Chain A
Amino acid sequence: MNHLAGIDPILALSLAYWQQSLIKVGIVAIVVPTAALILGYVFLLKMMSFMQSRLGPMEAGPYGLLQLLADGAKFIQKEDIFPDAADRRVFALAPVVVLMSTFLLYLIIPVGPDAISANFDTGIFFALAVSSLSVIGILMAGWASASKYSLLGGLRAAGQLIAYELPLVLAVVGVVIQAGTLSMQGIVHAQATGEIFGFGWLGSPYILTQMLGFVIFMIAVQAELTQPPFDMPVAESEIVGGYQVEYSGFRFLFFFMGEFGTAFAFAAIASVLFLGGWWLPGFDADSNWLNVLGPIVMFVKVMVVSFFIFWIRFTYPRFREDQLQTFAWKFLIPLALANIVLTGIFKVVL
């Protein structure tokens, strides 16, 4: 059977391959902005406001629900400004590259035993490869803006994002060793059917067995999203937006959507890798009920993981660039390597 087909079993229809692909593209195209909107509203507008002892937007729609839509409309109707000395084509393409890597990330997120856009055998490998495409986009933005602040921001971003790719990948390697497969559905199945010390009702969520890997992964995700405490590239009080400073209107909207869309995607990947994905204890891993419940379970897990990402974002000051690099190279990478060695030993011994 074509291992890319996914929708056939759910809809109980027989659709041609191009029809399935069209539906998948449509779903991803709708889900990404919606995910960005939901994360933006719940965490950026409301949770941040409550943490700062204020209410956040309340006027646009009940409890400010339509605020982000109003912001989106505002951004779209703005003038399309190019700095005089900017390289126009590269300047225009940079946000598209960043957003494209976000969209590609959603292809491999599973929300049910059969509900996945592209069921690759190397799902997680594809995700990590595609997520590093955004570095090119950021470098393009930093260089093409023809402003010294953007240049500083772009260079910082290049150094930071490349440095933190390594802990990200190494943390995932521990999970892959334990699951024995690179495929996303395979990892969920391994957690669903595994058992810890003979106790199998909870399955084997890798957050319990790979706690160190989870912490390293979350720190690396924070850095990949350029969120505080790792937001040197966009250090608002120093270089005022870094590589994003010359962008306005819908190009800035692309960066914004890219940031929150990627946050959602990484939170989803984290919940697949460490929290068991769409599986709920008590269900059989192949049950068709999970095609319906799976999205809801995934959504709840994503919200929980995002809560931690944003909680840390709003509390901590930011690292300086050299401290950031020292932290990655001298601390996180050796720790991640130690984690892999330990996992390998336990996998062989137990």
Chain B
Amino acid sequence: MVLRRFLTALALAAIGCCWLAARAPAARAEPYGQFYRPQDTWNVLETKYFRIYYTQDTPKSAAYLRTLADSTFERLNQFYGYQPPTKIRVIIVGYTTFSNGFADSDHDRITIFTSTPDFHSRSRVPWFDNVFTHELAHILSLNTATHWWKRVPLVLGTGLARFQQAQTLIKLPIYGRNFPHWFAEGVAQFDTSLLGRDAFDENRGAFQRAAYEDRLMFPLEKLPFFGGEQWYNTGLSFLMYLEDRFGTGTVHRLFKDTGEHFDYLFDELFPRVLGIPLADLERDFRIVVAKRFDDHFAAVSGGRYDGKPLRFEHATAKYRDLEPEQRDQMREGFLGMPLRYLDGKLFFRQVGVVTYGDFSAKDGTLTNVKPLSPGSVVAPNSSDSYFVLKPERDDNPLIPTFFRPEFESQMLVLADTDGNTRTLLRESRLSEIDTCAARSELAGIYDDGDGSVKLALYKLSGFGTKAVAVRRDTLRFPLNELPFDEVRSPRYGPDCKKLYFSRRIGHDHDLFAYDLTTGALETIASEPAFELYPDPVRDGVYYVSSRDGTMNVYFKPYDDTAPRLVTQAITGHHHPIDTPDALVFGRLYGTGFQMHTQRHDEAPPPAAMIAVAEKDSPAPKPPLEGLLEDAYGYNPVSPKNLMPPSLVPLIDVEYDSARSWDGAVRIQAGVELYMQDEIARHVLLMRGYTGDQNSFLLDYDNSMLPVSFRVRAGWNDARGLWVYGGTGGRYEQITNDRWGFLWGSLRLPLNLFYTVSAVAETIRDVGVTTGARARQFDLGDPAYGRELFGGVLTYDGLDRRDPAFRERDINKRGYRQFTLAGYYGLERVHSTLARQDSTLRAGATPFFRGELNYSEFLALPALADGWFDQSLQFDLTLGYISADLDFFPFYGGGRLYSQAAPEYNASVGFSGYDFGSLRGETLANVGVRYRGPLARNLGWNIGPFFLNDVYFQVFTSWGNIWGYDPTGRRQRPFVDPASNGRYVLGDVGADLRLGHFIQQVESNVGTTLRLVYRLVPFSTCSDGSRNRSCIGPNGERGFMFYFIVGGGF
């Protein structure tokens, strides 16, 4: 009967979701990892060493990868001799404008997002060659350097202790791989450079000089905490230094030795292999870096032509007067990249906002600064309205930012100086734009998602008016097609007859002008170096070139004379913008780009004639035709498309002083297995423990259809010894407690934020057997049971599956999430129990259950020059059950769980009260939390423990859980007291939150020390009596303590 109802509910839910699917809007970019796009057709291409997965959106990338992959493997593997157990898989994802690659070395798997990035700190080599080689180097080097078996990434120990007024939870991982980021990223770049696809070139040199100059070149021991680009830059530079100092093969010797020994403390590697401690090696390396900087400083005239920092009106501090840590904390106030000089105003980008102001070349100041719109670039429409490319999903103020940077392509909007914006193109795939009034035209850089960024032209209607529109049908690509084309920085000339841009030719970028009338292509600069960022003016073109090894600004007259040097950068100059009296450009600092200005009369004197170097013709790309003919369709259930499993051994210890029924101590051990197919169409998780409690959890998720489904099943069996007193002594009984659950859902994502689900669930408590007795209950006829059938609407304002997701970053942006659920339920109580306890109601009791969980996370403006990044969180929980239940009503009270019983973790709670001390059928709870820093960027480490931040949190929660009076009358929320005798309960608390991690693995471990004070104690027991022993600690004001290690930061 139950099974029939369950199946009926599932069928109804399936029909409902299919109906919704039919009405769902066309899917756009979907989250990474889910790969759920019904319109995609995945194909597989096999080479000697690789299996390449691609869709109809990325055939060129797949074909080109085929020409590149095997030879790259053979060349790289000469260093390592790694033998992958199966073919290395490469997943090509093309539907986003996210640009990156990832290597999952545990599974010999590479993911490449095929959008060519814009760069300012990476190599000149074509990006696709670079990223593939880099990620493959990770696969080979990390596997060579891993002493543990790679299918076991970690061993996880969990511990739990519960006392009446204190609880402790510890999750302690031991990682098999113990390398800092700089070591892993450094060797990937090092290997890539050995193949000629990366180098410590002008950009890397500039980045290192900038960090050194600002005293922000972090010590290696600090790089586990912060680093970002320094993981790559310092890593490569340091490993190259070691290779120079100790001879060819040193870097690979280090990696091979790491594979032969497990160093719980990474630093032990260096004395063993090189005979010198890491600290001594780093000291010598820094001497080399300092000399490199001094030599460069002398070569660029001591910075005389480096420009001067553009000063913002109301600036309270000078960057150079700050301490290094202050520079980093206050960085956003100084950042700026010039974009355009339009209508007498300088437009620039600052922290994702297009801003403008009045620029004075005379005193180098910017006044009357105003934001135009969130966005990255700007182009003119009229004197008070501008085209802006801004992040998708940032246009609706009711919906907070969905944090997934660059995943959706930017949208084109028209923004006016009154703060209004109007959307012109959604998901435009454009990254840079310019407009021409005379031609009513918009030029942009268009990402085709298959490795190319092309020059695109759109016709506009109503140009110069607020009714301007993009004529979508006029989209055209005027340039000849080049494989893996990379065009950047389109800029119309002053007379609008030519369109200037940079374009990759071979291993660098050159400047060209496209004649809009004739279609002819004119070369402006094509030396064997970067030529970027054309800014055409009346008599010539400003641009940046690295012709002498530094990114400096040059000016090339239209009269075909040689270019002249305009600036000399201590670090690097980018994006020059001409203004009537001065040049403004982005100057690289240790914290990012800041705007510098140099008056035209301050340019260096004309040097001797610059000899323009000739550039060799680049080698043609191999033909790609016919390379996909033997590809075949992707089968998500084929064994060769299943990712090898990950296995995590688990050890769990629990101590619960309140549990006398089956022993206070429980020790379990087990293993967790995770596997999925290569593009995550279906995923399986199994977790089994055995010991004093045996448990098994199976979790399967399938996204092969427009409506996804997920099934979870769990079973628990706990054996214990019940010790009790009786006449004549102390007696013991063996106990055995069993229960299980089955849960299934059908899930339909409505858009990036909303998901609707149909859920069915049953929980069966088979009960406790004591001593040598027959078991009275079974799964079909349990002691207690509960069935739920219903629907859930969830809103998730962030995507934690984003490859770039970091909890700390998202916490600074704010987000919202909520879950609204409604269920029809049945509670089952066995008649045997009802005979023994007259308060129980035998048989099936139908009920309705509704729940709302709402959280709003607000990032408040940072104080103390950006150091105090405070945040406020608001939580609301409401719940209603229509009947008086004995089994699984709402529970309240703080309770920590180890991994042994994950299915209980859904309870709500007031952390100042005992778990289970609040229970009932009507729930209301409001919580407010405020967080702020006590210490940031500490960078402390003791052995394997790395401590970075210390934050505090103060919080309070108010509400209650109401049930039924002993007379059977339902208690009315806030009108009647609940069974605990109170109308409203409340607590206040404070946390000390430590942001830390273990070994060199930057994971979200975190420790919380929590102290909660019960402001409103219980006044009665649930039966209405005032017996203190029943009320326990909840009957008095007092503290609850929590100590959580590994619970996240």
B and A form one assembly = no
